[in-house]
Structure 1
């Protein structure tokens, strides 16, 4: 498939290094869009902005980075402690979406009992790991057809597919699957296992 270079830039940050004589160097994989030397980038949810001085891949300088590239890029104007793993870099004209709430479709893979509203497991979205509360189970779906089986069920369990409302306990970047599918997918983990997998279908922006 063609690389999603026409979509807005999204680079989930894996690590941030401070290199003597160079400065702050975030490391991550370009999921969508293109990053070029000289670009101004914004990191969300940290809200920090800086200028890209150089880009490296496999210890070689490159003028631009495209989807699939694992890169380190030197950013001027940002201290190492101002950004962190789980931040997403984008361009200021189409910044990463920080949500206060989102709607998702999930498939429950395993759970010892049942999942009800109020459950607050850890959502793994790109490089972020954030505890999120399932505030509402909107409906239960037929896993084969996607048809609604039941509205507002009390709980869902292993093997069920459902639409849920989710409220992160702290700022989180996630995108709608219709906009940027690469940043819409997530796993829900609890008790040392993957409870569910899902995609974000709608967002309420935090700002």
Structure 2
């Protein structure tokens, strides 16, 4: 419920995927939460996506594991409706802060992400991927609209 509430008003989704053996496979399985969240985000109108591959430290920053996850994830997000060429894939370690704000030295093989939307954009970190989000066009010439999330009746 919370995921749907937040996603319904989002301009971009960040899909966090666990790189650990078994964790990735469980999330991307037919009934997995990773697959479900990507589908819900797209269905709710979130057309921009960033994929953060977390817990890379648990795989000893394996380039092979990173490549395997990108391949599998690209296939399934394409089926959902996202174009993998428009999606930055960022290997991170949230626990250690690697590739979150500053580029990590733990993955010398990682040359950075690239996405093609309104031109080619590149970067290395999750923060740079977030900064590269295309701002949506807002109907600023129309009346103000405020989304309501909950209504409370307080007696007294």
TM-score higher than 0.5 here? no
TM-score, normalised by the number of residues in structure 2? 0.24
Greater helix share, structure number: 2
TM-score, normalised by the number of residues in structure 1? 0.20
